Copies of this chain bind each other. A is one copy, B any other.
Amino acid sequence: MASAAPTGGDLSRLRQLNSLAVFGALRADGPLTLTAVAERTGLSRPSTKEVVDQLVELGWVVEVAPSAGTIGRPARRYRFRAEAGHIAGIDLGVHTVRAVVSDLDGTVLAETRQAVTPATPNDERIAAAERAVEGCLTMADLAREDLWTVAAGTTGIVDTAGVVRICAGIPGWAGVDLTARLGELFSCPIEIENDARLAALAERERGVAKGIRDAVFVHAGRRTGAALVIGGEVHRGFGGAAGEIGLHPVAHWERSADHIHDCPAVPAGVPKRDAARHTFAAARDGDPAALAAVDRYCDELAVGVSAMVMTLDPELVVLGGGFSPAGDVLLPRLRARLEEVCLRMPELRASTLGEECVAVGAVGRAVARLDAKHFGLTPGGIAPAR
């Protein structure tokens, strides 16, 4: 059973029950037995049972089936019903539009992608996003009404209202009110953020930056971008322009990926979206042209990364985005360049989240917002606008 977002009445009942402590324990640490919930909340066991029963009735909590082969009568265990609601995460990219649909734990149930180009008109890019979400919903046997939030990331500077302010990658994209455009398609709340920032959030929540306070995230792929984690939160900047070091004239990341895509080691006829894989494979085999291309790419990447590192002195640099599976090729070269200039070397790690990182980050942000809004749980994520 999937269900619509909670109504005011449901929430008021949830609060009346004084059951947020019980709910929070099951949300964070479930499945749990009633005894374990009582221990965590300080409530008596009878009170705990009463609250859990009512949460089950409301559809927030469900009993877990005992493991097969259990001997005797096992204690009943309960968990948060993450399937009570669903979230769509969208990556409105320059060359690809991706979508994922997740449950309220952020567990991805379906993912789709649609090819676009920088020249794709705005209406068609939005329509591609709609089709991508629709495909996910079909695969997960869900309807639009089951979505509690649609969260999207896109390239460029996005204001807090969800309007694209500056966008170098997609002509005509600046000025688009994404909250309004997606709001015409989906009746749930819409959230919009910069793509690299959502990918950084995904790393912080479930990737290689988990538990790290200060990190620089490099979004390396067909486009090159960056985002910062400071004090455990993704840093927006005063006007949402933090991490845009790639547009600095000495970094000029706008065309850096061309070194990888236009490398002579890429066989003729290979489509652009597969070109990088060939270049990295050739570099692993010692192909001189591929090695030269990788070197030039890392040289340009290192200028911007070292500027961020020498500004912030982070604990960690994450190489994420579509090129992250080539961490074995890229990280040693990036490390060597950084060691030449940085006063203190941060650790370097390649992301393991892959190309879905933006859509997964979008979902993660929506989950954190929902937890904060409905359940009073501590919000994680991106520091609020000032």
Contact = CB atoms under 8 A, between A and B. Distances in A.
A263 to B, nearest CB: 26
5 contacts: A230-B231, A236-B313, A238-B346, A240-B313, A242-B312
Contacts of A231: 230-231, 383
Interface stretch (A13-21, A44-52, A245-253): A245-253
Contacts of A230: 230-231, 235
B314 A386 contact: no
A238 B306 contact: no
A326 interface: no
A247 to B, nearest CB: 6
Interface string A214-252: 100000000000001011000111111111110111100
Contacts of A157: 343-344
A313 B343 contact: no
Contacts of A242: 311-313
A249 B341 contact: yes
Identify which of A239, A245, A312 gathers the most chain B CB atoms within 10 Å of its CB.
A312
Interface string A12-56: 000000000000000000000000000000000000000000000
Contacts of A386: 213-214, 315
A259 B58 CA distance: 73
A237 B314 contact: yes
Contacts of A235: 230, 312
Contacts of A346: 238
Contacts of A344: 157, 237-241
A198 interface: no
Interface residues of A, number: 38
Contacts of A5: none
Contact of A313 (B237, B250, B306, B307): B237
Interface in A124-155: none
The SS class assigned to the A binding surface is: loop
Nearest to A242: B313
B383 A313 contact: no
Given A214-B237, A235-B230, A245 B343 contact: no
Contact of A250 (B214, B303, B314): B303
A247 B308 CA distance: 12
B248 A310 contact: yes
Nearest to A306: B248
The 8 closest A-B pairs by CB, nearest first: A237-B313, A241-B313, A239-B344, A307-B307, A242-B313, A238-B315, A241-B344, A245-B310
A201 to B, nearest CB: 17
Interface in A302-351: 303, 306-308, 310-315, 341, 343-344, 346
B312 A248 contact: no
A368 interface: no
Given A231-B383, A244-B343, A250-B250, A311 B311 contact: yes
